[in-house]
């Protein structure tokens, strides 16, 4: 015996694109100062290694190297840029891309044509 259950058709489910944009933008706004702080710490440690600044706060361990702080700074800023891109509406992103393409096309046409003579 085969039993079939027939259900009514409901509304079509459409997945939302880019959920929690406001959270992404807020996080990106907080990550940028953190990246600057990590960069300042890397420069402080580098200055200490060169003998320009006084002693660095962290003397031993992984975080006592300026390269680590610089890598942390770059990673945090990269994450902030990604979150900013995720948080901006798609229409703004498309408009920015089209204006960039138009400007690039104008620059290329000027480069090919050369300077105008009067």
In a domain, 109, yes or no: no
Instruction: Give, in order, the Cα–Cα distances in Å from 112 to each of 104, 107, 115, 118.
Output: 12, 9, 9, 18
In a domain, 15, yes or no: no
What is the domain extent for residue 41?
21-89
46 contact partners, CB below 8 Å, separation of at least 6: 66
In a domain, 105, yes or no: no
pLDDT digits (tens, 9 = 90+) for 23-57: 999 999 999 999 999 999 999 999 999 999 999 88
Name the nearest CA neighbour of 43 among 12, 67, 10, 19. Answer: 67
Across 64-80, average pLDDT: 96
In a domain, 98, yes or no: no
In a domain, 97, yes or no: no
In a domain, 114, yes or no: no
Look at the chain and report how many structural domains it folds into.
1
In a domain, 108, yes or no: no
| Token pair recorded at residue 28 | 């990106």
Q: State the pTM of this model.
A: 0.65
In a domain, 106, yes or no: no
- Strand, coil or helix: 3: coil
pLDDT at 115 over 70: no
């Amino acid at each position: 015996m085969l039993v079939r259950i027939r259900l009514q058709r409901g509304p079509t489910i459409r997945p939302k694109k880019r959920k929690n944009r406001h959270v992404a933008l807020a996080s990106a706004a907080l990550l940028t100062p953190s990246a600057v702080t990590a960069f300042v710490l890397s420069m402080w440690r580098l200055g200490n290694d060169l003998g320009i600044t006084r002693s660095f706060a962290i003397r031993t361990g992984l975080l006592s190297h300026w390269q680590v702080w610089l890598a942390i700074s770059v990673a945090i800023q990269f994450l902030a840029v990604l979150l900013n891109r995720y948080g901006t509406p798609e229409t703004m992103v498309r408009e920015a891309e089209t204006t960039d393409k138009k400007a690039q096309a104008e620059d290329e046409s000027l480069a090919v044509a050369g300077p105008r003579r009067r």
